Amino acid sequence: MSSLLLILALSLSALTLSNAAGGPALFIFGDSITDVGTNNGLDSMFKADHPPYGIDFPGNVSTGRFSNGFNPADFLAQKLGFEKSPPPFLAIANQSVSLKQQIVSGVNFASGGAGLLDDTKFGSVVTLSQQIQQFQTVRANLTQLLGEAEAESFMNKSIVAISAGSTDIAVEFVRTRAPPTPEFITSLRDAYESHLKTLYSLGARKFGIASVPAIGCVPFMRAANDTGGCSEVLNDYSQSFYSAIDPMLQNLSTELVGMKYSLGNAYQMMMSYLNKPSPSGPTELQTACCGGGKFNGQQPCDGNATVCEDRDKYVFWDLFHPTRATAALAIEAFYSGTSEFVTPINLQQLIEDN
């Protein structure tokens, strides 16, 4: 088969995959909250490719998700009509046919331990800058498949989801043990703006942005706190981060023609639930389902860990990450929530806005 016919065949196959989902493609960037296996093949200290991770994933498979089952990337993908998150870039990058078939449905670039800043990383991770470089490869393949005009139109309709900043904040807190400085928060804001401009230059127009949650309340931080309460200093970082990126996004959307975004206030979502949990949702608000020590927040979630039985009743799965049940609630608030949780429009409005 000639190269032209091969490209046409792949294009038709890929477009069928996309159309079957009934929605736009989904490209995901960020850290461990949305990682679906990027770190599996890396020499990283952050890995979830072993039990009991994935205990509630279809087939009880440890896929590399930092969860007992689906994570926020999966629930977001389901809102777009997919079964689960697009595959990680590194899993398909060396399979040219698979890459071309998959990319029109989307790709997940998120890597556990990655930060907004290039020097924020624990061991071997794919930084956000490197994730965007990987996306450039995908963008080039889209142009090859669809032609420049069609690829541009395709990207304009796609959803680019980003969840980043938690790792940067954690590293800075460990380094200084001090409240956030304006200079540090500004550096995160400026890095975020730069990344968004690069993605925009590659055709991205619709951005779903999740701010940093109340990381001072995760089991690891509760266990490290003598009172057993949340770390108010870390939560100050989360709130300062949101206060910085909110006006940045407002300004950027007026500067960049056609840019639309949905900003989820993950801090507000999390604190609202912790302060007033739903009787039908998770009711264990402090202790992790999987781990050991105080709040199950002092030992990793591995083969030696204690694992709760009723996992859907726990907000936290391990030292840092939400359970499948919590992830589903968070995406629902992001997707259909009011201005208390998401501005200027929610994800549903962003997806449906043509």
Q: What region does 22 belong to: left with phi over 0, alpha with psi -120 to 50, or beta?
A: left
The residue type of 183 is: E
Single out the residue of 332, 334, 341, 295 nearest to residue 314, CA to CA.
Answer: 295
318 an active-site residue? yes
Active-site residue identified among 18, 32, 105, 231:
32
50 an active-site residue? no
Active-site residue identified among 85, 195, 262, 321:
321
Strand ranges for 104-195 from DSSP E: 106-108, 159-163
336 an active-site residue? no
* b/e 250-260 (16+ beta carbons within 10 angstroms → b): eebbeebeebb
Long-range contacts of 252-258 (CB under 8 A, 24+ apart): 252/193, 252/196, 252/197, 256/197, 256/200, 258/156, 258/205
Rg of the chain over Cα atoms, rounded to whole angstroms, equals: 20
Q: Tell me the C-alpha distance between 241 and 256, whole Å.
A: 22
* Cβ neighbours around 100 below 10 Å, total: 22
- Measured in degrees and rounded to the nearest 5, phi and psi for residue 233 equal -65, -45
What positions carry a catalytic annotation?
A: 32, 318, 321
